[in-house]
A and B are shown apart, each in its own frame.
Chain A
Amino acid sequence: MDTNNLIINLQDISFGYPGSPPVLDKLSLKFFRYDRIGLMGPNGSGKTTLFHIIMGLLKHTSGSMEIFGKPVTKEKEFDEVRRKIGLLFQDADDQLFSPTVLEDVAFGPLNLGMSRDEAVDIAKRTLESLDLAGFEDRVTYKLSGGEKRLVSLATILAMEPEILLLDEPTAGLDDKTKARLISILSNLDLSFILISHEIDFLFEITDSIYTMENKRIVSDKEAHLHQHIHSHPHGLYTHKHK
């Protein structure tokens, strides 16, 4: 792949909280445009930390980081990163802080310097594209878990990012909302890195799956499909295997 499309280039990134063993140790990652990567790993293996380092919310202790071909270290340099990369937080309650849905979705565009009308316009269009038309005046804390998740996604998409970092977007969602999220994500013309514990979900919408092991990322380019034979205590209920 050509270097023009190299969007995120992490080299030997280490990070640790003071007084505890490092969370990331010499982690390297190359992320190209049009990549759709799934990221798996046990709890506490540093997946979320990695996202926060990319967004500049946490500062890595050593290593080099280039995003969109430019090294980023200073707070100011992350402005562009945050404009072009959208991070979906694990907990939608963290993301939705405005009184109403419309205000929350318009928050990002307004920060980017759009006028009020433009921001409202793009917020409405984004909501519509996610089948959330009519949600504009809903109060954010009164939404259901699934609705909160989709609105959170809208708040990020409204900023028209080039890349999404999705931190366990399916956590706590029912099958119906999950299916909706899958269809939204696979129809988006965006590259993304997706953290999830659900292998089925990752198979469905990503091209490659990486795992976090020993504080680093292990790429598993060819995901091997294999068969399981197992008994079902709940075999009565219809379900799907990938």
Chain B
Amino acid sequence: MMIEEISGSDSFIYHLDPRIKIIIAFLFSAMVAVSNRFVVLIAALAVGIIILFSAGIQIKEVFKRLIPVNTLLIFLWLFLPFTFAGEHLFSIGSLTGTREGVLLAFRITIKSNAIMLMLIALTASTPIFTIGHAMHQLGMPKKLVQLFFFTYRYLHVIYKEYARLVNSMKIRGFKPKTDLHTYKSYAHLVGMLLVRGFDRSQRVHNAMICRGFRGKLYSLSSFSISRADVIAFILMAGFILMLGILEWTQTT
């Protein structure tokens, strides 16, 4: 399927309290996002890699998940060096690349990858539903959490519906081209998905009403903090704090 936990379930990180993991991932991301010094960023990236490895995630899987963010970064690399004012570094034809531009692109690349690694470690080592419940326990509004659950649950159903429709188009010889027929067919496909999605939501709602649903949803899970959680939290919070100190005390 599309989103899945891929970590070995025997890793240390897998057994951490999901709330701790979410808080740490959040603090880490925030800190990395506002940091600018290379020492800080590279330290963060290194810790990201270490955590990822300790979660026992396959490298292939990690790279696969890093592709989207890095595709975006390629465009930054294409434009930033040439559009940022600063010291001349190199030139291609009439285009001049600046030192500042390259450094900025570098910074953004490290930042994004460090944050992504951390988030991959979080989602890969925690079942998606546990994340939802943990977010609820952390005070996230119930409705948002339920929306998150429903989205995940029915994404799969809607995706299957989409695949069915695409197949039925294919077996009747549909080949996407750049013409009105193609656009129309895709419009029908999207329209059909919307209509079916709406119908589905009504049937699900009906099924819920039949089981006594009155607008209130309950959660069955409860979490408990263990000693490992406390240690992991102190370690990581300490590290993030250190990044902060490093970032703001010494100016170069």
Q: Which residues of A contact B (CB under 8 A)?
A: 52, 55, 57, 79, 82-83, 86-87, 89, 91, 93-95, 97-100, 102-103, 106-108, 110-112, 116, 119-120, 139-142, 155-156, 159
Contact = CB atoms under 8 A, between A and B. Distances in A.
B211 A156 contact: yes
Contact of B211 (A91, A102, A107, A141): A107
A93 B157 contact: yes
B218 A116 contact: yes
B210 A57 contact: yes
Given A55-B209, A82-B212, A141-B156, 7 more contacts: A89-B203, A98-B153, A99-B153, A107-B218, A116-B218, A116-B220, A159-B212
A112 B210 contact: no
Interface residues of B, number: 26
Contacts of A156: 211
Nearest to B129: A99
Contact of A99 (B132, B157, B208, B211): B132
Nearest to A78: B209
What's the dominant secondary structure at chain A's contact region? helix
A82 B211 contact: yes
A46 to B, nearest CB: 16
Contact of A82 (B132, B200, B210): B210
Nearest to A165: B210
A52 B153 CA distance: 24
Nearest to A114: B218
A97 B163 CA distance: 21
Contacts of A97: 150, 153-154, 204, 207-208
Interface of B: 1, 128-129, 132, 149-150, 152-154, 156-157, 200, 203-204, 206-214, 216, 218, 220
Contacts of B152: 99
Given A97-B204, A116-B220, A57 B209 contact: yes
Contacts of A142: 1
What are the 9 A-B residue pairs with the smallest beta carbon separation, nearest first?
Answer: A111-B212, A99-B129, A108-B211, A94-B203, A110-B218, A141-B156, A95-B207, A87-B210, A57-B206
Contact of B203 (A91, A102, A139, A141): A91
B213 A102 contact: no
B149 A99 contact: yes
Nearest to A52: B206
B156 to A, nearest CB: 5
A99 B157 CA distance: 13
B129 to A, nearest CB: 4
A106 B211 CA distance: 10
Contacts of A57: 206, 209-210
A107 to B, nearest CB: 6
Nearest to A58: B206
A119 to B, nearest CB: 8
B2 to A, nearest CB: 11
A16 B208 CA distance: 24
B136 to A, nearest CB: 12
Nearest to A103: B220
A120 B221 CA distance: 11
Contacts of B212: 79, 82-83, 108, 111-112, 159
A102 B18 CA distance: 20
A200 to B, nearest CB: 28
A82 B208 CA distance: 10
27 contacts: A52-B206, A55-B209, A57-B210, A79-B212, A82-B211, A82-B212, A89-B207, A91-B203, A94-B203, A94-B204, A94-B206, A99-B128, A99-B152, A102-B220, A106-B218, A106-B220, A107-B211, A107-B218, A108-B212, A110-B218, A112-B212, A116-B220, A119-B220, A141-B156, A155-B211, A156-B211, A159-B212
